Amino acid sequence: MLIELIVICYDIVRTQLLGQLRASGFVRARGGGDIRDLNSNSENWAVVKAALCAGLYPNILRVDRERNQLTSV
């Protein structure tokens, strides 16, 4: 069925992404910074939407730390 294929593909992509994050040092296999720590903001939709926006639209704005404001690029 199509749904089963979608779930399998999702699981494959999730596994590959987690492997890349571990290889890059962003996620540890055990201890502090492991997979359980990654879900700490999963219920905070403002953080989830900000992360998606930053990933999908990089360089859409920048932080001007001198003026303490966001500037569109």
- H helices within the chain, ranges in order? 2-24, 35-38, 45-56
24-34: average pLDDT? 73
pLDDT at 39 over 80: no
Q: Do 73 and 48 share a structural domain?
A: yes
The region of weakest confidence among 10-14, 26-30, 32-36 is: 32-36
Tell me which residue range forms the domain holding 73: 41-73
pLDDT at 26 over 80: no
Q: Provide φ and ψ at 72, rounded to 5°.
A: -75, 150
Query: What is residue 33's predicted lDDT score, i.e. its pLDDT?
Result: 65
pLDDT at 43 over 80: yes
Q: Do 20 and 2 share a structural domain?
A: yes
Q: Do 58 and 23 share a structural domain?
A: no
